[in-house]
Structure 1
Amino acid sequence: MELDNYMFVLAVLIVHVNISMSFSRCGPELKCSCMTSPSGTIAMDCKARKVNIRQVCESIAQIYPNVSDLNIARNNIGNFNAEDVNCCRNISSLNMNYNQISSLHSGVFKDFQNILALDLSDNVLDIFNKTAFDPGVFPSTLRILKLFGNFPEDNEIERSFDYPNLTKLQKLEVLQMDGIETDIGLEYENSSVRNLTLSSKGPLGFCSIKEIFPTTFYSLVNVRVLDISSCKIENIYRDAFKNMVSLEILDLSLNRRLGFSSLMNVSYSLQFTNIQFLNYSRVYTTFGVGTIILNRDVCYLRNTSLKAIAFDGNKVQMVEKNTFVLLPKHLETIYGQENKFSFGLYLFQFGCLENVLRIDTNNQNKVHAPIKYLAEPKSKDDNDRSRDSECQYMTEESLKTIAKEIPDCTYVPPNETAADLKPQFSRSLKRVYFSGCNMVYNLDKTKITINPKNNSLEVLDFSKNTYPSLRGRIGPFPNLKFLSFSRSYCSFISSDCLSMDKLENLQLDRNYLGGMFAHPGGGDTFEYLTNLKTLNLSTNRISHLKRSLFSRLGKIEEIDLSGNSIEHFDIDVQPLKNLLYLKFRCNALHTLNKDITQLLEDNSERIGNNFTLDLRNNSIEYSCSNQNFLYWLVDHKERLQGFHEMVFYRLNGSSVDSIGFLRDVPHLRAQCRSYTVAIVLSAFSVLSACAIIFGVILYKKRWKLRYWYYMKKQSYFGYRRLVNDDEYENYRYDAFISYSDHDLHFIRDDIIPRLEDRGMKLCVHQRDFLPGIPIRDNIVDAIRTSKKTVVILSKAFIKKQWCIFEFNMARMESIGNRECENGCLVIVLYENVPTKELPLEIMDWMDNHSYISYTRDPDGQPLFWKNLTTAIER
């Protein structure tokens, strides 16, 4: 729809400032606030500041001569004279609403030669009384005049009302005032007003129009926009808008008493106008029985130049068959939100919407607050209205002829059934919005074919519905660029469902896809999306991502993984040559590897745009082992979104905010280097002194000696052996779980829930170790106070120093200090570890003791959990 010139003029007149304005205190006694635009003009806001208008104007003349806009609303100014406002004569916009102004003295604005906009809304001016009010008081330069809320309080008294004659304002383009039940005078036939609002939709307006006769707006031949929304209209006559030949926008919304019985008359009169947009929203009851749109309602629209139509909030349940055939051929946009559409033959006729580009039907079946029922006027029940019309297009022959002229349009004969029809979409349709419609649907291995196959659909929004599983294929969508299944309770979506090679923006946030991505078969989900640029996977309960998940997204620019449980982000980043925006807010990340940080730097340099990384609300590790990443964060802090909200965590559990981090991190390298050197030198001195005499002995007995040392330390300084310590009931835990952090997802998702659900009490270091105590002491104490130690043996386990330490301490406890008939150490072989990589102590133990092998075979899982439970309980 072509933009109206008056809309541009309105924007220029009202908005003189932009976001770069500077704010300051100003006005008499600095009670007001001023905003200065880059051009030097000032907008002064004195709204509800208890100021005097003369003082304000004098301060403008003496101190603030560049003020162009003055808002002095809600100050109870009352009546004023020319001397009071004379110093404001150079302003271009004046807002004086809600000031108890009852009259305007003649000549009060006579010196205002630059004023373009004047707002006198919600005062007590008797503008509809020709003998009491002189419209000539307004300055001739006005282009915008607002007079809402000036209807007299004694309107129940029998008296005649007339609209004020403002035709002498030859530059007036926008006029807003209350609507009354009388005709607008013939003097407006040559008026310059292009935008007329008689609505009571706003907080200040009043509109009492109940019927619109052919004479009501007969003189408004130049008006292009007519807003009579939220009046009390009950009936509109056949030729009501016939003489408004320039009319482009008609707003009849929020007239709940109107119903659909007058729509045919509205349609008929709009044939003679230049109508572009008709707003017929919320003219029907919100509650009660739904309604149907009939052919007779829209038949005459076939002759109009209508480009957009709105039927929002009308509780429409059905559209009569062949209605779409009768809609104007230039129609581009249909709004049908907040209705209650049900299935019908009209669903097979979308192909008849020849040039429609957008269909917006969000929030079907929306639930409304019951309190609205009490406030809503009783609406007209017009479902029994006649279906007859004199419209020449309603005959079966005419409908057939029109349908035949439209490609992909299906005409529905009188006795046709759905079984004989195939659904068709318009070839020109580009945008479909169907969000929040309470739709519950599974697409399991189902193929839904969209006709025509060469459709033009670019945007599909199916968010806020319920699609638990999307495994089938929908389409084809050869031109689709935006697709949303946000907040759809979806736990699985297949690559077939996403086979859209032109898709650029995919919104899958607020679903349950974490389990699918962690599954070995979840790596090909996005294999067809080779042109995807934006991917939103936030809030999906994701803890693990398959390394190859994004390997086909060569054009991806933004990935949002916020609000998940990701600890390690280890994916194949080499194909992501355009990635510049990564969002990890609210996860459990400790660090990012060098491949990812280097990729962001390389992409930023090659593309010429700065990258953005969001790591807020994570568990970034502040330690020597992570120092390279920490220094990288310092170097690129300007590229970190919300950097000053970030918190960093030391190994001892304490935290450092961003300010402390920037202060301390320059010293981290020196601290790490000194600590390392000291340890190395100390160890070298001890080993050198003892190597000749005790080298071989110490090496062979090293774990026994270390175990003995910690036992003695515990007996003197920490742990006290309980009486009858060998009795199982005296242990705090049934089992201490020894594992590598790399296998945390197995511990958290399987070990803990499965064993603790069986009544076992487990000791897990990330959950149960006491802060502030050395890690070694925590480990020894956990082993001593647990009936069994369970080792989750994997490739990552044997590479971790603390894991080997835990194993050997448990081994020493088992063979040296506790009599365990069935063994105090249980090994779970979580992964097949090559024998050559196993430490000798572990290999020796496994050669002489039984162990349990973990299986991922669903059939073998029950036996594994049974064996593990038995091994712990014995």
Structure 2
Amino acid sequence: MRRRRCQCINDILEENRQIITCKWSRILPDINLFYNFPYNITKSLMIECVNDENDYHNRRIESQFNDDIFKNFYNLQNLKIKNCRVRQLTRHLFRGLNNLRSLSLYNLSLKNSSLIISDGIFDNLLKLEKLFIVNSQIQAIPSKALCRSPNLQILNISSNWLTAVNLGVNDCIRPMEQLIIIDLSLNAIKSIAANDFKSLTNIRQLILSSNNINYFHHASVNRLNIIPSTITNLINLISLNISWNKIDINTPFELHAKYIEILDLSGNYFNTIPVVIINNSINTLIHLKLTNNHIKNLNYTTLVNFSRLETVESYILSNIPRLSRMILSNNSINSIASDAFNKCPRLIEIDLSNNLISHITNDTFLNIGPKITRIILNNNLIELLQWNQLPSTLRTIELSNNLITRIDSAFKSNIKYVKLDSNRMMMLTSEQIPSTAEYLNISHNLLDNLPNATFLNKSLKILDISFNNFNRINYYSFTNNNNNNDGDTSIEIFIEGNPLICSCEMNWLISNDNNYAQVPLISSSPLLLPVTGGGNLRIKDKHLATCKHRIDKRNIPLLKVKDDDLLCNYKQICEPGCICCQYGNCDCKSKCPSGCNCYHNSNYSINIVRCLSLNNTDRSNFSPKDLPMYATNIFLENMHIPIIRSHDFLGRTRLLKLYINSSSVEEIQPLAFNTLPSLMLLDLSGNKLTTLTGDEMYRTNKVTHLFLNSNHLTSLHEKLNREMPLLQYITLHDNKFKNIPEIIDKKIDFAGLSLGQNPYRCDCDNRFRMQSWLIENIKVIADVKDIFCIENITEAFLKNDTTILSAYPPNIGHEIYAVPMLQFIENINKIKMVLKAKQERRRYKLPVKTVTTTTPITLSSSSPVPLINYDAFISYSKKDEKFINDIICRQLESEDYLLCLLHRDCPNYNTDCAIKLHSVCDELIRQIDYSQSLIIVLTKNFLENEWGTLQIKTSHCLFAKNRTKKLIALLGDGIERNELDHELGRILRKNTCIRINDPLFWNLLHSSLPLKINFYNDAGGAIPGHSNNSSQIYSDCYGNIVPSNII
């Protein structure tokens, strides 16, 4: 060895391990090659013998490997030896390589000498996965050489001198289940015995090309007449090449493999596609090569089930004289060679649907033959249609569900049947449509406009333009601007699924009954299209096609569309026959106000003006007097019209419907609508009206619909009935009515009305008519479930005006008590029945005087005062509870004061519940009433939490009204009386206030508190509530005379 040349690099995946490459002229046995090598961290070792002279000389230079030369590389995974010429690989050459995964031996033989492999040489390679012995002139492998390597997956013994298939695994006890790829190509194998691959049960790829096999051959360029059973029984084959043999359709064995993806049968003697032979792999086959065979007859369904076929190569189906139909659908074909179908004189139809074809080459279909009439390419990936790539004899082309965005000129095409649906076309012109086309399907595309004369001078009989983006169907698409058209032309047209707008320009679509519409030849007006003469269009799906109404946006089937539904927008128009159009002021000239949208129908009987949510400039400049004089429907929404003045709508004699919604209308002057003799519908909802007297509606005697909901109305005068005698429908929900309005109470022939969401009183007094009227007219009320009676308990306590003294759920908003009116009426009836029954039971007893529900209840001194159980009720914040207990309560209770604490002794009070429901608890009111005094500890926590609840505020305000009791406010740090809310400030101004941090705090508090209840006990009396004789305490509280009601 001349010198040692090695390179070390770190492995990419394992940086702490190394890959070593060494190049020497030859290997000698008396030299320690690997002295000081990093044995433990070496992952891969590559040895190459290189000589400066030519390769012929190198093959004569002999190397020699000692036994155990690699034993120290116990972590080695990959070993490669190249161009080191030896006579024999000894038994213990690879001993110690227990972790070796890959062994590659290239060009190891001497010139004209075979390489000898010793028995047991691979016994220590228990983890070996890949073995390559290439171009080393080995003649045989020991019979059990690889039995100790059960993990072997790839075996390559190509380019050697093997004459038989002996892979060193035939006599193994266990089959080589992991071995999947074997390469025996470029050897001298002449025959294959039946058991050569018996133990190789999972082979997926077997390469035997370039041998001399005459009985069995998997590889090409051999002499096989049949496919041997040895190969056909390999069930895991993926790739098989048996090209350029003499195999024909009579080969007796079929391939049992179920996963073959690549099969090369080219250069054999097959006269048809051998489907029977490859039947098990039809669904997995990707590449099938059949060129240079003798195929003459082919059934049109032969390839129909080849679901993964990707390529159709040149001449694969050419020169088949009897082939008439070819179905290659449901494959994965992505390309077709230009000569794939050449010279098939009887071929009529080709079906290539459901593949992955993205383009058609120039010569793919042009040279098929003179009889081709139909090509099917549905469900592919084609983007461009070029008519000149199709045969002149073609009559039908189907390209549904592709990606077509562009179509070339159809100048010389003779096609009659064209399917281009479900593509991506955005435009279509006359030049792109063959003049011979009789059926054209361009549905489910992205078309939104058809230019004039698109279908002029065509042979169309059926046209499908459904499910595109057309807003209107232009009748000039079927004619030209001069209205020239073939009078005999009749086209059946499908237009379903387009977002059509009901435009007056499409009145020709609905001009006739049934399903016929005529393309006009003469236009007397640019908008009103006559329906006489011209070729017929037969709209076949009028019952399915719809158009969207411009105003209410509803979709109307064309079969039900009326002329009044077809509207065109305008900025300024003059009606036909108008004689003053040239003048500025002209009633028959309609000008749309700035910012508004205006529409008219084809005969100008409908004139609609919509002014919705105008911008600030247009809104400030708007005046009702600017509205067109001939308007029939006016919509004013989200405007700013605080006052509707008299004569704002002067002279609109055609006005049928007037909508003034959500426009901040607060007042309507008398005679505001008196010059609208045709008015039938008036919508004033969503405004700020508080009352209507009837003078506003003078001479509106044709109104049948009046919408007044969502205002602030509290009353409606009966005079409205006289001004609107035909009124049938009225909406009054979401107003401020507390009782039934007079207009409703005095009129009995309404067809429909709404009354919900009004604060009707929960009262049975005769002055409230709602309860009795509701039952009598329930059938005409649209929102009975929304009618509630409501009592505001807070307001009732403050004003002493209520019939309900307790709160029950549900509690809605600020209204403490709310109940469905029907439920209220039912409950009242039940109460009456119960009271009547009790009276019957106690008819022999002394009757008890009661207060009726309509009698106002006051809190004056005539009411009985409850028993006194506590010296003081202390109201405080839950967050200050520890401070209250330690500083105030403990001291007072040690002095024998009887105390009731808000968060300790009132189990029914819950802050969270009170905040959520805004309810008033009777128990809390009673607890405070049982106390001689109320001590309120005012802190920031109390003001932010407890005082914000209706329960605390209401009970404390009630206590403050009782001048016979004491209310004391203890002010915490940071509390200023002038910064408190109005109600609390009023309480503090009339009662005692003590600061907690005052040095004289306890003196001031003791002097403010009333005498303790125990004082009476000390004087010889009984404690209230603990004795059967309570007369003395009553006398102390009320004086010598005790009220009889208390007794």
TM over 0.5: no
* TM-score normalised by L of structure 2: 0.32
* TM-score normalised by L of structure 1: 0.38
Relative contact order (C-alpha < 8 Å, sep 6+): which is higher?
Answer: 1
Identify, as 1 or 2, the structure richer in helix: 1
